[in-house]
Every structure is written in C-alpha cells, then in structure tokens.
Amino acid sequence: MTRLAPIPLVLFFVLTGATREEPRGWRDIIPLHSTRADVERLLGPPPPPPEDGTRLYTPNPDIPLYFLEDEDVRIGYMTDSRAERRGCSAVPIDTVLWVAVTAKKPFPLAALGIDENRFETFDPSTPSGIGFKAYVDVIDGMYICTAGGEVRDYGYYGDATDRQVCPALNQDPKQFCQILVDFGHPPKKPAKPKSN
C-alpha cells in the first residue's frame, strides 16, 4: 500500500507557509531590509530645505526629508545612538527603520490597493469624532492616517517577522497617526477696573 498522506501535507505547507507576501515598503524601500545606500540610489542624497522659505527645518541626516512631486517622504535610519538606546545591535547601522509619506494632495483610500480587513481602525484624534480615522496593520507593518475619508499620511515600519530582531521596534504603531487638535481657547477678557 502506498502512502499519499505526506503529499497533501507538503502541499499545505507550501501553499500556506512559503507563499508569504514580500515585505511591504514604499517604492522598493523596505524597512529593516533597505539601507541608506538603497535610498540614495533611488532618491539621491537628502536635499537641503527649499530656499524660498516655504519649509523651515534643520536637516537631520538620520531622518532625511525628500520633497517629491506628489508627496513628501521622511525616512528613519538606524544609528549608533538609536541602536544603543533601544538595545538593537542586531539591526545594522544605516538600515531603514521606517518610511513616512505625506500626500501633497489627499487621495481615496482605495488608491493604496489594501485589504482593509487586515487593518485595525481607530480614531487617532483628540478630541475624537471630528473626521479622522487611522488604519494599522501590525503584521505587515503599515499605517494609514485619513481625514474626511481621504489619505493624508501613510507609512511602513517593517513587518512583524522582521521586527523580531529588535523587540524595541515593536512600539505601538498607533502613535504614527495620533493627532491633537487644538481649537484654541478664547482669550480671557481683561478684568474691568474697579470704580471707586
């Protein structure tokens, strides 16, 4: 009698285990896989702030900001100080830790081509209930921040398997979309002088 049971079992493991999706990333920049050299090959060296004064910031070579036609992109790298602070010696220096993208023109969520069922949703705003909604996929390491139903920001922070090399990288991803809306406080009226 021949034994055919191992074939379906092998087929099951091939179909379920070996077909893991590639790690998510932005334009082939994949957190915890790509390096500073990969980023600069794709985007060039980080640009200085625009001279027209529209963006005032101090450039940080470890979190460069790229101004592209449709979006601004910030990329965080592993550094000596981060590795020491987080106890992440297993992650090589200059490895991309995260990619944060800010759309210059908001767009529909469907344009990202995601499976919304894979995401946890929550209201990231304080106060809540004012039109913000966030999505986090902790398995694939992606977050999306929306306002009024349109994507404003999104990013990637490495998939769950890759983050295992450094448990300190498993911080709460909801922080990427947290927003505090301050409607301002009316100025106090000056006290009326006392009349004698």
Query: For 11-34, what is the mean pLDDT?
Result: 65
d(CA 105, CA 86): 35
What does the pLDDT look like over 54-96, one tens digit per residue?
Answer: 777 778 889 999 999 999 999 999 999 999 998 999 999 999 9
**Residue 19: its pLDDT value, please?**
40
Which residue is associated with the tokens 């965080």? 76
User: Model confidence at 171, in pLDDT bands (50, 70, 90)?
Assistant: confident
Give residue limits of the domains in the chain: 21-180
**pLDDT of 6 above 80:** no
What DSSP character marks residue 161? H
Q: Residue 102 contacts by C-beta under 8 Å, 6 or more apart in sequence?
A: 71, 72, 73, 74, 152, 153
Regarding predicted confidence, which is higher, 185 or 84? 84
d(CA 73, CA 64): 8
CB 137 within 8 A of CB 118: yes
What DSSP character marks residue 179? E
Question: Quick one: what percent of the chain has pLDDT higher than 90?
Answer: 64
**Residue 194: its pLDDT value, please?**
58
**pLDDT of 23 above 70:** no
**pLDDT of 12 above 60:** no
Which residue is associated with the tokens 């106060």? 127
